[in-house]
């Protein structure tokens, strides 16, 4: 009996250590079952493959280096929602309640709202979260691992995942 | 003693099946689909990759890339475009692979009824397979690229393709009922820019062992020929570490003091023909 319970405890602790703590997993699991939402996930193993590639120039080397520090990307996209703005406000409120996230930048206009948030651990940004609503589109995208905002801005110009180009807006922040 | 025997027998049997089975997810878990007429197949066999590997390049890095292509064992794609059961097939396939701890997910996407997942399988620090599983409205696809996959080196292949003037005449698409095979056959088509691997023939009796090394590598001529070689020893980036003229075989190369990584041993014979052997120190 003693042996079994020890294994169970280790299993529980182990799995919580391994579980990816990011906003999408925690707060948006409800959308996982809804087929009107597109879900994207890229794991650290994918990014680690990029780390081994030889860059052709310095720009590429920087991008590859930034990607190798990412532990993952998780995204939720709804491309055709009549409720996109209310989905946006709900999402922002949910994350604000979490307390671990700090608002970085918000751009709101008549047609579209975008908010960027970060979760920090000490000096390191562990997660960069983007919530977008408007024009019938709703996007939540979480980048987690070790985030360097400058590199993310550069990545946004070349990374083909839908919604990722929004991270380019952070460029204004850096200036 | 009685207890040990069944275990040994099991190990022995499992090693035999590993040797004979093709090393990819389709042969291992989905071989039924190979005989299912609803599935079309597309493949590239090891022979084609060996043909591509006969190309020669003066450029060291390009040659590495060509050699890496030679380490691929195959591409196998199964497609079912007649099913109305694709969601269930997709679930079953992804669950089967998820249960095999050797596979790691790289990315996944689900968009309405379209789902796909890309995974890799790694063994002993070498990537052995890339696997794609996709299920959509009326289609279900499993695709595998398998062999020894050296991702950074192979990614350079598009550069080699651009420079080498390979053209579509060198490829043949052979169709046989449900199966399509892409064959690369340069020597039959008489391509002038491709050097046929005669030099490889000159080195066919040379063995370099082990190729995953701890401290020493032995280079031998299995026929015991008394040829004199120049031996050059390179890092992955083409930096020479050692060069010796007048090397006779058998010859032992010390790896003790070298850092982990991939290396090349190049043997050049008196007529100038050479062959590169890849060694990995983990």
pLDDT tens column, B198-238: 556 678 888 888 888 888 999 988 888 888 898 988 877 66
Residue A169: DSSP 8-state: G
Q: Closest Cα of chain B to A90: distance in Å? A: 22
The whole-model pTM stands at: 0.67
**A25-44 residues touching B, CB cutoff 8 A:** 35-36, 38-43
Residues of chain B with CATH 2.60.40.3080: 198-281
Provide the pLDDT confidence category of residue A116 given band limits of 50, 70 and 90: very high
CB contact under 8 A, A49 and B110: no
Whether chain B has a CB inside 8 Å of the CB on A52: the answer is yes
Report in angstroms the alpha-carbon separations of A36 from A32, B114, B186, B204. 10, 11, 49, 59
Question: CA–CA separation, B267 vs B61, rounded Å?
Answer: 17
Encode pLDDT of A118-157 as tens digits. 999 998 999 999 999 999 999 999 999 988 888 888 778 7
In sequence order, what are the residues at sequence separation of 6 or more whose Cβ sits closer than 8 angstroms to the Cβ of residue A126? A119, A120, A144, A145, A146, A147
Choose among A45, A46, A53: nearest Cβ to B152.
A53
Residue A98, pLDDT above cutoff 90: no
What is the share, in percent, of chain A residues with pLDDT greater than 70? Answer: 84
Question: CA–CA separation, B69 vs B49, rounded Å?
Answer: 6
Q: Tell me what pLDDT residue B9 has.
A: 58
Q: Give the residue-averaged pLDDT of B195-199.
A: 46
Which residue in A152, A120, A127 sits closest to A71, CA to CA?
A127
Whether chain B has a CB inside 8 Å of the CB on A51: the answer is no
Q: Which of A53, A55, A64, A137 to mutate to test the interface with B (most CBs of B within 10 A)?
A: A53
Choose among B104, B109, B156: nearest Cβ to A45.
B104
This model of the complex carries an ipTM of: 0.77
Q: Are B38 and B107 in contact (CB under 8 A)?
A: no
Question: CA–CA separation, B277 vs B263, rounded Å?
Answer: 8
Closest chain B residue by Cα to residue A56:
B156
Choose among A38, A40, A52: nearest Cβ to B151.
A52
Which residue in A115, A110, A98, A100 sits closest to A135, CA to CA?
A110
CB contact under 8 A, B152 and A35: no
Q: Give the residue-averaged pLDDT of B161-173.
A: 69
Whether chain A has a CB inside 8 Å of the CB on B113: the answer is yes
Q: Which of B94, B101, B109 to mutate to test the interface with A (most CBs of A within 10 A)?
A: B109
Chain A residues near residue B152 by CB distance under 8 angstroms: 52-54
Closest chain A residue by Cα to residue B105:
A43
Choose among A36, A46, A54: nearest Cβ to B107.
A46
Question: CA–CA separation, B141 vs B75, rounded Å?
Answer: 13
DSSP string, A82-118: TTHHHHHHHHHHHHHHHSSEEEEEEEE-SSEEEEEEE
CB contact under 8 A, A45 and B106: yes
In sequence order, what are the residues at sequence separation of 6 or more whose Cβ sits closer than 8 angstroms to the Cβ of residue B8? none
Encode pLDDT of A52-78 as tens digits. 777 777 777 778 887 888 889 999 999
Q: How many helices (H) and strands (E) are present in chain B, helices listed first?
A: 9, 15
CATH class name, domain B198-281? mainly beta
Whether chain B has a CB inside 8 Å of the CB on A64: the answer is no
Q: Supply the mean pLDDT for chain B.
A: 81
CB contact under 8 A, A38 and B120: no
CB contact under 8 A, A41 and B107: yes
* Residue with the larger pLDDT of the pair B134 and B64: B134
Cα A134 to chain centroid, rounded: 19
Cα B230 to chain centroid, rounded: 28
Closest chain A residue by Cα to residue B103:
A45
Q: Considering only the C-alpha atoms of chain A, give the largest distance between any 2 of them, rounded to a whole number of Å.
A: 63
Q: Which of B111, B117, B131, B154 to mutate to test the interface with A (most CBs of A within 10 A)?
A: B111
Of the ranges B32-36, B37-41, B44-48, B168-172, which one carries the lowest mean pLDDT score? B168-172
What is the share, in percent, of chain B residues with pLDDT greater than 70? Answer: 82
Residue B37, pLDDT above cutoff 80: yes
CB contact under 8 A, B151 and A53: yes
Chain B residues near residue A54 by CB distance under 8 angstroms: 152, 156
How many Cβ pairs within 8 Å bridge chains A and B? 41
Residue that is written with structure tokens 């602790």 in the block: A13
Chain A residues near residue B151 by CB distance under 8 angstroms: 49, 52-53
Whether chain B has a CB inside 8 Å of the CB on A49: the answer is yes
């Amino acid at each position: 009996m003693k042996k079994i319970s020890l294994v169970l405890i280790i299993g529980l602790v182990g799995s919580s250590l391994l579980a990816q703590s990011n906003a999408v997993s925690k707060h948006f699991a409800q959308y996982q079952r809804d087929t009107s939402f597109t879900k994207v996930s890229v794991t650290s193993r994918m990014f680690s493959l990029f780390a081994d590639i030889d860059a052709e120039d310095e720009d590429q080397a920087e991008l590859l280096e930034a990607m190798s520090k990412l532990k993952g990307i998780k995204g939720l996209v709804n491309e055709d929602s009549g409720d996109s703005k209310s989905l946006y406000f709900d999402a922002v409120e949910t994350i604000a309640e979490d307390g671990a996230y700090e608002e970085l930048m918000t751009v709101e206009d008549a047609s579209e709202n975008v908010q960027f948030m970060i979760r920090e651990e000490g000096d390191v940004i562990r997660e960069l979260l983007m919530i977008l609503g408007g024009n019938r589109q709703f996007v939540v995208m979480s980048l987690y691992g070790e985030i360097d905002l400058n590199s993310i801005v550069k990545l946004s110009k070349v990374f083909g995942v839908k919604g990722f180009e929004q991270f380019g807006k952070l460029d204004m922040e850096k200036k | 003693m009685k207890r040990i025997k069944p275990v040994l027998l099991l190990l022995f049997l499992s090693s035999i099946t590993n040797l004979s089975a093709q090393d990819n997810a389709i042969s291992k878990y989905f071989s039924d689909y190979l005989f299912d007429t609803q599935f079309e197949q597309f493949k590239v066999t090891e022979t084609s990759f060996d043909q591509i590997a006969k190309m020669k390049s003066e450029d060291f890095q390009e040659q590495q890339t060509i050699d890496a292509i030679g380490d691929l064992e195959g591409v196998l794609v199964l497609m079912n475009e007649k099913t109305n059961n694709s969601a269930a097939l997709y679930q079953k396939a992804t669950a089967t692979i998820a249960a095999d701890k050797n596979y790691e997910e790289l990315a996944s996407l689900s968009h309405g009824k379209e789902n796909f997942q890309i995974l890799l399988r790694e063994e002993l620090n070498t990537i052995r397979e890339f696997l794609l599983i996709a299920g959509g409205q009326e289609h279900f696809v499993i695709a595998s690229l398998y062999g020894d996959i050296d991702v950074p080196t192979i990614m350079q292949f598009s550069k080699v393709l651009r420079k080498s003037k390979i053209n579509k005449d060198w490829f043949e698409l052979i169709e046989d009922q449900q199966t399509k095979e892409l064959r690369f056959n340069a020597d039959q088509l008489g391509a002038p820019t491709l050097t046929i691997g005669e030099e490889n023939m000159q080195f066919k009796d040379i063995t370099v062992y082990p190729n995953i090394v701890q401290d020493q590598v032995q280079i031998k001529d299995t026929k015991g020929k008394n040829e004199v070689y120049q031996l050059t020893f390179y890092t992955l980036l083409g930096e020479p570490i050692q060069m010796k003229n007048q090397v006779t075989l058998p010859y032992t190369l010390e790896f003790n003091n070298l850092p982990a990584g991939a290396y090349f041993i190049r043997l050049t014979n008196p007529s100038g023909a050479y062959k590169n052997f890849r060694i990995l120190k983990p």
